[in-house]
Amino acid sequence: MTDPLLRVENLKTQFFTDAGTVRAVDGISFEVREGEIVGLVGESGAGKSVASMSLLRLIEDPGEIVAGEITYKGETIFGLEEGPDGELREREDMLSNEEIRTQIRGNEIAVIFQDPMESLNPVFTIGGQLREFIELNRDLPKDAAKEEAIRMLREVGIPDPEQRYGEYPHQFSGGMRQRVLIAMALACEPSLIIADEPTTALDVTVEGQILELVDELQDKYDTSFLWVTHDMGVVAEICDRVNVMYLGEIVEQAPVDELFHDTKHPYTTALLNSMPRPDRTVGELEPIEGVMPEAINPPSGCRFHPRCPEAREVCQRVHPDAREVAHADGHPHRAACLKHDVFDAGYDESPPLETATQETAGVPAGGRSTGGPGGEDGATDLKDSVIEDGGEPTDGTRSDDRGETHE
Ligand SMILES: Nc1ncnc2c1ncn2[C@@H]1O[C@H](COP(=O)(O)OP(=O)(O)OP(=O)(O)O)[C@@H](O)[C@H]1O
Ligand code: NI
């Protein structure tokens, strides 16, 4: 296999606040290969945005990348080595801020954020901003840049682009503005686009259209994406492979079909069970019990154990790293859960823990069995629907969960 486009190894990003050290990203490893759409999914506060900002070294004070390695096309975006004094220092071959700004950002790796109004200036026309961006980044004369801007607007499905070119951001709908940002991201033909919840603020129909557009453009330009979302429905729609994040860690990593059909981490199961689906009424949804703890003081052992229906005593003590538990489509399926044999942690012999989830899960109406050896029926349920209904696992009900899971 060829080298991945982007390789992230054991990345740690922390914020040094008065209240303590926030371990926002705590040792994550993943790759994005050429032409892939890779998901980063998890609840609010999991560390998805901090992880994606770290990739372009956009973390600001009091935050800092404290460990790990980020490699893009063989270039070191971040890396540490031990200096002569024994202290860690930045590696010599690490790109400078200037190099990141001029050679990587925009040209090689573009970013699309959730709120287009943050990226678009309200006092300049859409076309003017896009043209200027193209002029600066592609070294084209004004006329050619304008032509290219109009072409890009058409490419992302803005009707009547010559006309809309002269309009201001407030004259565009949310979905149209997001299309403009996609045009801007694509304008320099980057190899990788990092998209941080770019469709979260949109209604479901518009979101669907944008996801379709991304799929099309991805096919055409062979751009790779790192797609950040809290929504498993979005993951099912566009991702090839997915990383599930919980409290700063990647707890499961697999090709998307494999993740949905053969879920290996109870947190992923919980995320999938909390996802609206056409075959379920809202009343049948099972919200994940409890709230994610603070990243300042994460729980001992497995960080998910206080909320996990399958937690055993050992899960309080032993911290699982993500290990390969299966292999699918030429990719490893990794999970950080002690119940798997590869951990050899004595899970089977360990007494079940009384977690909040297990107490409430006993209520018959919930339909979910208590933890213990047979506690995987959540996952079994899911096998029947999500993928089999043709990649449309969600419907109009999806917007319902937005307010609750994001912000
Ligand atoms: N500037 C900052 N100072 C202190 N803590 C921060 C800062 N930025 C982020 N954090 C913390 O880092 C952790 C991860 O935040 P992050 O924004 O990456 O989560 P997320 O997964 O993107 O969530 P969401 O879905 O809400 O966007 C959180 O605990 C957050 O409070
Ligand atoms: Ni975020």
At 27-69, the pLDDT tens digits run 999 999 999 999 999 999 999 999 999 999 999 999 999 999 9
pLDDT band at 281 (very low <50, low <70, confident <90, very high): low
CA atoms within 13 A on the CB side of 286: 23
Q: How many CA atoms within 13 Å lie on the side-chain side of 299?
A: 19
Pocket test for ligand 1, best of 14, 50, 232 (most atoms within 8 A of CB): 50
Spatial separation of the C-alpha atoms in residues 48 and 244, rounded to whole Å: 9
Q: Atom of ligand 1 at shortest distance to CA of 248? A: 14
Domain locations in the chain as residue ranges: 6-108+191-405
Q: 31 has which bridge partners? A: 7
The closest-lying atom of ligand 1 relative to the alpha carbon of residue 43 is 25
Question: 22 CB contacts (<8 Å, ≥6 apart)?
Answer: 14, 15, 16, 294, 295, 296
Superfamily of domain 6-108+191-405: P-loop containing nucleotide triphosphate hydrolases (3.40.50.300)
Residue 70 C-alpha to ligand 1 middle, in angstroms?
20
For residues 187 and 148, the answer to whether their CB atoms sit within 8 Å is yes
Look at residue 106 and tell me whether its pLDDT is greater than 80: yes
Half-sphere exposure of 182 (CA within 13 A, CB side): 30
Q: What pLDDT is attached to residue 127?
A: 96
The residue whose CA is least distant from atom 16 of ligand 1 is 47
Q: Which long-range contacts (CB under 8 A, 24 or more apart) does 369-378 make?
A: 370/309, 371/308, 371/309, 371/310, 371/311, 372/310, 375/266, 375/309, 375/310, 376/269, 376/310, 378/269, 378/270, 378/272, 378/273, 378/286, 378/309
Residue nearest to atom 7 of ligand 1 (CA): 15
Report the mean per-residue pLDDT for the chain: 85
Q: Is the dihedral of CA 121, 125, 128, 131 positive or negative?
A: positive
Residue 207: CB atoms within 10 Å: 24
Q: Which residue has the tokens 């320099």?
A: 188
Q: ipTM, 2 decimals?
A: 0.99
Tell me the backbone φ, ψ of residue 141, rounded to 5 degrees: -65, 160
* Range list of β-strands (E), 299-348: 323-328, 331-335
Q: What is the pLDDT of residues 45-54, one digit of tens each?
A: 999 999 999 9
**How far does residue 395's CA lie from ligand 1's centre (Å)?**
29
In the three-class reduction of DSSP (H, G, I as helix; E, B as strand; rest coil), residue 157 is classed as coil
Residue 393 reports pLDDT greater than 70: no
**Rounded distance between C-alpha atoms, residue 76 and residue 177, angstroms:** 33
Q: What is the mean pLDDT of residues 362-375?
A: 37
Q: Return the residue whose CA atom lies nearest to atom 2 of ligand 1.
A: 15
Q: What is the pLDDT of residues 296-345, one digit of tens each?
A: 999 999 999 999 999 999 999 999 999 999 998 889 999 999 999 999 99
User: Which has the closest alpha carbon to 299: 282, 283, 311, 287?
Assistant: 311
For tokens 């919840």, what's the residue? 197
Task: For a ligand 1 pocket test, name from 18, 48, 64, 113 the mutation site with the most ligand atoms within 8 angstroms of its C-beta.
Answer: 48
Give me the pLDDT at residue 275, please: 79
* pLDDT tens digits, 224-256: 999 999 999 999 999 999 999 999 999 999 999
For tokens 């998901």, the residue is 39
DSSP H helices in 274-341: 313-317
Give the C-alpha separation, 125 to 131, whole Å. Answer: 10
This prediction has a pTM of 0.84
3-state secondary structure of 345: coil
406 Cβ closer than 6 Å to some ligand 1 atom: yes
Nearest CA to ligand 1 atom 14: 47
